[in-house]
A and B are shown apart, each in its own frame.
Chain A
Amino acid sequence: MHGFLGGASDNPHARRPRVWGWVLLAPMLAWLALFVVAPALILLAYSFASRGALGAVQFGFSWDNYARIFLPSDGRMIYVDILRRSIGYAGLTTLLCVMIGYPVGWFIARRPPALRERLLMLVMIPFWTSFLIRTYAWIAILKREGLLNGLLKASGAVPHIFPEPLDLLYTPTAVVIGLVYAYLPFVILPVYASAEKLDGALIEAAHDLGAGPLRVFREVVVPLTRPGITAGMLLVFVPAIGMFAITDLMGGARVPMIGNVIQNQFTKALNFPFGAALGVVFTLLFVLSYAVLRWLGGRKTEKAK
């Protein structure tokens, strides 16, 4: 990027791209402007408007919608609570995904190449099925008369270990299971990519210098796979905040997420401006969390180098 903008470049052989560079970039820039920047600006404009009869929008300028989000009513800040809950679920999902996905990614990376390919396929194949169908499959597993309870009953776990068949569906546990399942490959793959590049010689060297396995892991492996972890966290946390389909399907729509609330404004309450304001806050949240995660990831990578 440095060279492109005419400043000092890391690569001493890079030439300065001139007109051609811009021409080739133009379609991408146009697409970004038309489909990312323009809609964001429209959303911003709507967020300052107010609602008219039959859901029509009256453009004006008022902070009412934002006031409704951030100022407490009856001593409670409903929408801030909902945002916080969505972030909480996203955070928990990210944590679990990293805890489960990191060992898997590392393990696959250290296998011989032929086996590696096959294991990666196993991770990728479910992706080829529709996300909705996979979620419904979980419903079939977790429901009261479902496969999990069937297994527990058949193995005798149900009368002996658990007195009753497990009531997992439509609980927060089910939601977390669904979320972690949906986002796990997003951690496995970047970690795999990072771990694959790790030179085994570095680990041997650390062992030779007298470090035990735990120390090697903490001080050599983790810092060098940090880019993979950061990428994984970004790919999970940021989209998971907005993921409300799983809360609806596996959580029984009992607890509203920010996505539900925004959807309601457009389909039930017919208050487009308020929905737009929530959307703007939500987008800013994305940007903020992305920035924070990048800063955390970038700083540690510098330290590792």
Chain B
Amino acid sequence: MKTLHKLLVLGLAALCAAGASAAPKKKKGELNLYAWSEYIPQAVLDGFTEETGIKVNYETYASGEEMLAKLSAGRARYDLIQPSDYIAEAMIKNGQLLPIDRSKLSHYGNLLPEYLGMAHDPENRYTVPYMTGTVGIVVNTEKVKEPVLGYQDLFSEKYSGRIVVLDDGRELATAALYVLGKGINDFTNESIAGIKPILAEWFSRVKLFDSDSPKTALLNGDVDLGLVWGGEAAILWKENKKFRYVLPAEGAHMFVDLLAIPKRAKNVENAHLFIDYILRPEVSRLISADFPYTNPNGAARKLLTEEELANPASYPKVDRKFDTFRYLGEEVAEKIDSLVTDLKNAR
């Protein structure tokens, strides 16, 4: 019995200690953040909490559609989300976002003008750019000696079984649209029928589909070429300069990931504080270090190292103007998904 008593007292003491330490130091509220997985460094979140005392509840999603689906389902109340360009466009059209009060963002001027006033939000009323990037071809120049300039080269017969591509129906379909000579968002019944044989041929040559970490297969040497996110290519280049990044000649697009405040947000004030925090050059710089996409923050770019700026996947030295995805509606999204499932199934 004596031991039992001791244990009980110890247990109670432990509980009290836990309770005491759980009490927040400053009660400044919280922020419900819903963002891409692997896109906001923990150091940034911790820094924000330390400075403002605001607790960040960080939840993640693996696709823009997943985020849309969860918000449409109605129950969730998030304060800040991270939609991509066309998803944001859909949400603005459906009145799902709150306007952002730019007067609260003291560091807004750091953003480079080329990333403002874009098609999804021409007046910059609802969104603030977070990170941008491109989707392109990575070539392991040690294994592949010939020049690879575009999709036709990438998917040629001689590389069959040595290619990795993103597991993203829209990305692949868009690539096929470019080869067909159509515009980036030109999805009609006709063009969808037109890309079917192109994609069928490509799929027969692909070794694997991977949207999460296509760099793994390239690093492992299981594949020699890939159609990947710019950030993945940048990480590959940092690992080993043999990985060359090529923006396809037939057509390439850029994407812009944004910060936005959903309609039913509770902590709008805190959301603005967080956005302003992200816009600081020294914070944005931390994001670039972990996720070497193209940083839209001009002041942050000045803080980057020479090597980071020289990374051809992060900051491609081309004069081309890139388009972004536009919102196409669920009908088209469904047709694309059906097409890709059908083609994958037929193999």
Q: By the criterion CB–CB under 8 Å, are A269 and B63 in contact?
A: no
- Identify which of residues 140-176 in chain A touch chain B, using a CB-to-CB cut-off of 8 Å: 143-146, 167, 169-170
Question: How many whole Å from A276's CB to the nearest CB in chain B?
Answer: 13
Partner of A253, one of B208, B330, B338, B342: B208
Query: Which size class do B's interface residues fall under?
Result: 35 or more
Q: By the criterion CB–CB under 8 Å, are B72 and A55 in contact?
A: yes
Q: By the criterion CB–CB under 8 Å, are B344 and A254 in contact?
A: yes
Q: Complex: how many Å from CA A184 to CA B338?
A: 34
**Using Cβ atoms and an 8 Å threshold, which residues of chain A touch B63?**
267-268
Q: Tell me if A54 is interfacial: C-beta within 8 Å of chain B.
A: yes
Q: By the criterion CB–CB under 8 Å, are B62 and A267 in contact?
A: yes
Q: By the criterion CB–CB under 8 Å, are B65 and A253 in contact?
A: no
Q: By the criterion CB–CB under 8 Å, are B208 and A54 in contact?
A: no
Instruction: Choose among B167, B169, B208 the residue with the greatest number of A CB atoms under 10 Å from its CB.
Output: B208
> Are A55 and B347 also in contact (CB < 8 A) when A253-B209, A254-B209, A267-B62 are?
no
Q: Tell me if A81 is interfacial: C-beta within 8 Å of chain B.
A: yes
Question: How many whole Å from A51's CB to the nearest CB in chain B?
Answer: 6
**Using Cβ atoms and an 8 Å threshold, which residues of chain A touch B94?**
53-54
Q: Tell me if B265 is interfacial: C-beta within 8 Å of chain A.
A: no
Partner of B65, one of A53, A56, A145, A268: A268
Q: Tell me if A235 is interfacial: C-beta within 8 Å of chain B.
A: no
By beta carbon, the residue of chain A nearest B329 is A53
Q: By the criterion CB–CB under 8 Å, are A253 and B345 in contact?
A: no
> Are A144 and B221 also in contact (CB < 8 A) when A51-B330, A252-B207 are?
yes
Q: By the criterion CB–CB under 8 Å, are A55 and B209 in contact?
A: no
**Using Cβ atoms and an 8 Å threshold, which residues of chain B touch A56?**
72
By beta carbon, the residue of chain A nearest B346 is A76
> Are A255 and B208 also in contact (CB < 8 A) when A269-B333, A270-B65 are?
no
**Using Cβ atoms and an 8 Å threshold, which residues of chain B touch A167?**
161
> Are A266 and B210 also in contact (CB < 8 A) when A54-B94, A54-B330, A261-B341 are?
no
Question: How many whole Å from A148's CB to the nearest CB in chain B?
Answer: 13
Question: How many whole Å from B166's CB to the nearest CB in chain A?
Answer: 10
Q: By the criterion CB–CB under 8 Å, are A254 and B90 in contact?
A: no
Q: Complex: how many Å from CA A211 to CA B222?
A: 54
> Are A78 and B341 also in contact (CB < 8 A) when A54-B94, A143-B222, A271-B334 are?
yes
Question: How many whole Å from B171's CB to the nearest CB in chain A?
Answer: 11
Q: By the criterion CB–CB under 8 Å, are B66 and A264 in contact?
A: no
| 1/0 contact string of B323-347 vs chain A (CB within 8 Å) | 0000000100110011001101111
Partner of A145, one of B206, B220, B337, B344: B220
Q: By the criterion CB–CB under 8 Å, are A254 and B206 in contact?
A: yes
**Using Cβ atoms and an 8 Å threshold, which residues of chain A touch B338?**
78, 269
Q: Tell me if B284 is interfacial: C-beta within 8 Å of chain A.
A: no
**Using Cβ atoms and an 8 Å threshold, which residues of chain A touch B208?**
170, 251-254
Q: Complex: how many Å from CA A251 to CA B217?
A: 12
Question: How many whole Å from B281's CB to the nearest CB in chain A?
Answer: 35
**Using Cβ atoms and an 8 Å threshold, which residues of chain A touch B222?**
143-144, 169-170
Q: By the criterion CB–CB under 8 Å, are A81 and B209 in contact?
A: no
Question: How many whole Å from B163's CB to the nearest CB in chain A?
Answer: 11
By beta carbon, the residue of chain A nearest B208 is A252
**Using Cβ atoms and an 8 Å threshold, which residues of chain A touch B288?**
none
**Using Cβ atoms and an 8 Å threshold, which residues of chain B touch A106?**
none
Q: Tell me if B1 is interfacial: C-beta within 8 Å of chain A.
A: no
Q: By the criterion CB–CB under 8 Å, are A267 and B69 in contact?
A: yes
Q: By the criterion CB–CB under 8 Å, are B347 and A254 in contact?
A: yes
Q: Complex: how many Å from CA A252 to CA B167?
A: 9
Q: By the criterion CB–CB under 8 Å, are A270 and B68 in contact?
A: yes
Q: By the criterion CB–CB under 8 Å, are B342 and A78 in contact?
A: yes
> Are A55 and B220 also in contact (CB < 8 A) when A82-B345, A252-B208, A267-B65 are?
no
**Using Cβ atoms and an 8 Å threshold, which residues of chain B touch A256?**
341, 344-345
Q: Tell me if A272 is interfacial: C-beta within 8 Å of chain B.
A: yes
Q: Complex: how many Å from CA A167 to CA B161?
A: 10
| 1/0 contact string of A260-288 vs chain B (CB within 8 Å) | 01001011111110000000000000000
Q: Tell me if B311 is interfacial: C-beta within 8 Å of chain A.
A: no
Q: By the criterion CB–CB under 8 Å, are A54 and B90 in contact?
A: yes
**What are 22 A-B pairs with beta-carbon distances under 8 A?**
A51-B330, A54-B72, A78-B338, A78-B342, A78-B345, A81-B345, A145-B221, A167-B161, A252-B209, A252-B217, A253-B167, A253-B210, A254-B206, A261-B341, A267-B62, A267-B63, A267-B66, A268-B333, A269-B65, A269-B330, A270-B69, A271-B334
Q: Which residues of A approach B to under 8 Å, CB–CB?
A: 51, 53-56, 76, 78, 81-82, 85, 143-146, 167, 169-170, 251-256, 261, 264, 266-272
CB-CB nearest 10 A-B residue pairs: A252-B208, A269-B337, A253-B209, A267-B66, A170-B208, A55-B72, A55-B69, A56-B72, A145-B221, A143-B220
